[in-house]
Structure 1
Amino acid sequence: MPARARYTYLGPEGTFTEVALRTLPEAADGRLIPSRTVTAALDAVRSGDAAGALVPIENSVEGAVTTTLDELATGEPLMIYREVVLPISFALLVRPGTTLEDVKTVTGHPVAQAQVRRWLATHLPHAEWESAPSNAEGARLVRDGRFDCAFAGAFTAPRYGLEALITDINDVAGATTRFVLLGRPGRIGAPTRADKTSAVAWLAHNHPGALLELLQEWAVRGVNLMRIESRPTGEGLGQYCFSIDVEGHASDRRVAEALMGLYRLCPKVRFLGSYPRAGQARPSVRPGPSEVQFAESADWLTRCLDGGAPD
């Protein structure tokens, strides 16, 4: 991705997504442009208006960000080049002088609502919630008088002239959100030995064992599935594709063979890239499918075909 390129993110300014993007080296070299929605951010990449887009894809409490999953499965292909995992804690942002007793309306991103639902039921049981495209957009709406308060990061308050009435709000301690940096398809980076590979696969037929067949492509090669999500294809009830994250790099023989197995098995497979895993955790490979053993088995078969001893 070129230096001084434009990188967009789910905005407006002051979102957790912006904070996550600023942890990447691309942020130091590029111009950061907020987008109103995930779809708008990805469309900017597809049209060439941005070199990359950082968007949320998964939350440890609420699960998948379905808009991102669906965008990656449809439309002009994009690839994942990096990921960021960010701890998430919310603050209740209000206009100066507002008290908790004054709060009658609340806003924030739908994923945020799922992470503060119990807190709301305890402290603001009668407040009305209305979702916003992002938490920072919710803060802007509070500034403009549309709502009494918004759930967002405490760092967002100064940007919109608000106060953090209460901080460190979370129904589940240690909540995190995963973000991915997306760009147009290109050559994947070299393996780091602490990588992740992502793809989307469509089943050929809805028959008993169809999903098992897909899973076995990974299992028999010792590739660990980190996440699998079913999403409707829009082609009718019961028609689904599967968004998949696995440990390892596409250049690893075990991952490469599993991807080729998916390609043979499924009518459509969309490769989403291999990229460094956040936290640099290395995969644990059980005995049998290591890179060395894959190479040894290939050498053994070559000897067999050449007339050498088969044992």
Structure 2
Amino acid sequence: MEFAYLGPRGTFTEAALRRLPAAKGAAAVPLPSIPEILDAVRRGEVDAGFVPIENSQEGTVTLTVDELVGGDPLVIAGEVVLPVTFVLASAKAPAAIATVASHPHAIAQVRGFLRRELPNAVVHQALSTAQAAQRVADGEFDACVCAPFTAEAAGLPVQAFDIGDSSGAETRFVHVVRPTAPPEPSGNDITSLVVSIDHDRVGALLAVLTELAIRGINLTRIESRPTGEGLGRYAFFLDCTGHLADPRMGEALTGLRRICADVRYLGSYPRDHSDRPVPPPAGLGDTDFADAAAWLDRLRGGGAA
């Protein structure tokens, strides 16, 4: 097995990949960008990709979502949620730092620190925190925002620890493969979808949400992304609690298929989170759907109600 991940070595993505059960014993291949990782998966050059998809401070990693929404089909087979801690790494004292580099999402999570402690420093974007650290080590920039292990790997002294604006920051990473059957239900799963609706139809998005709500499926995330077809034309990225094998999820997907212009299934996979899913309302659990289906089969077979 080969997993491509957002490199170079020493990134948060590499640290999260080490926590993924499916990657145990696999070869890790660093690549410089998210599109290159996902294209390598599509072409079969690697078995899987591992990329960030959202964080608790800055929200969606749009490159990842847009690739899943609009590129050739891929599916998510797993996720890892990683707590993230940032440091300011530099061989210079803070008073001598004129330039700071990091990944845009890392910069967004330390804005308060930068405004307060380095108000005159010029901030530069890098493809990853590890690349930023290497560019500091090479003398291109004075300092970087990165993980403690990234600074250590680059041989950079840490000038300030735990500089994030939120102490509970987390980033979510996903294990992406070519289309295949999902892993078995775990009892605490997510199903990810992309739905395209008829934007000229009144209540089209409400109809999508209704297909989920009437089956007791909790929508944990909804994100609109432009289709490129003109202003006001969007596809919707959805995360729902449940698994493709669940009867109520199956009914919801067939309902969405009937009413949407397009539905792209992006996988069912275990949640990497200690919170249990919100229980469905009375009458909308999996056993309720199974009992109702068995009752209908009896009727169709001439049995008693």
Q: TM-score, normalised by structure 1?
A: 0.94
Q: How does 1:197-276 map to 2 (within 5 A)?
A: 197-276=191-270
Distance 2:55 2:137 in 1: 27
Q: How does 1:100-249 map to 2 (within 5 A)?
A: 100-249=94-243
The residue type paired with residue 144 of structure 1 is D
Distance 2:29 2:300 in 1: 57
Question: Is the CA contact (8 Å cut-off) linking 2:99 and 2:143 kept in structure 1?
Answer: yes
Paired residues, what number?
304
Q: Does 1:32 align with 2:25?
A: no
Deviation for aligned residue 1:210:
1.2
Q: Does 1:300 align with 2:295?
A: yes
What are the superposed Cα offsets for residues 180-204 of structure 1, whole Å, 9 maximum, x if unpaired?
0001111111111111110111012
What are the superposed Cα offsets for residues 108-148 of structure 1, whole Å, 9 maximum, x if unpaired?
11111111111111111111111111111111111111111
Distance 1:180 1:308 in 2: 47
Tell me how large the CA RMSD over aligned residues is: 1.3
2:281 aligned to which of 286, 292, 309: 286
Question: Is the CA contact (8 Å cut-off) linking 1:195 and 1:280 kept in structure 2?
Answer: no
Distance 1:34 1:273 in 2: 24
Name the SS of the counterpart of 1:208 in structure 2.
coil
- What residue ranges of structure 2 are gaps of 5+ in the alignment? none
Deviation for aligned residue 1:306:
4.5
Deviation for aligned residue 1:21:
0.1
Aligned identity (percent) is 49
What are the superposed Cα offsets for residues 6-56 of structure 1, whole Å, 9 maximum, x if unpaired?
111011111000000011234331111111011111111111111111100
Distance 1:215 1:245 in 2: 12
Name the SS of the counterpart of 1:275 in structure 2.
strand
Name the SS of the counterpart of 1:286 in structure 2.
coil
Deviation for aligned residue 1:279:
2.4
Distance 1:247 1:268 in 2: 21
Deviation for aligned residue 1:256:
1.0
Q: Residues 173 and 158 (structure 1 numbering): CA distance in 2 closer, same or farther, change over 3 Å? A: closer
Question: Is the CA contact (8 Å cut-off) linking 2:13 and 2:51 kept in structure 1?
Answer: yes
Distance 2:155 2:11 in 1: 15
Deviation for aligned residue 1:165:
1.2
Q: TM-score, normalised by structure 2?
A: 0.96
- What residue ranges of structure 1 are gaps of 5+ in the alignment? none
The residue type paired with residue 168 of structure 1 is D
The residue type paired with residue 255 of structure 1 is M
Q: Does 1:58 align with 2:54?
A: yes
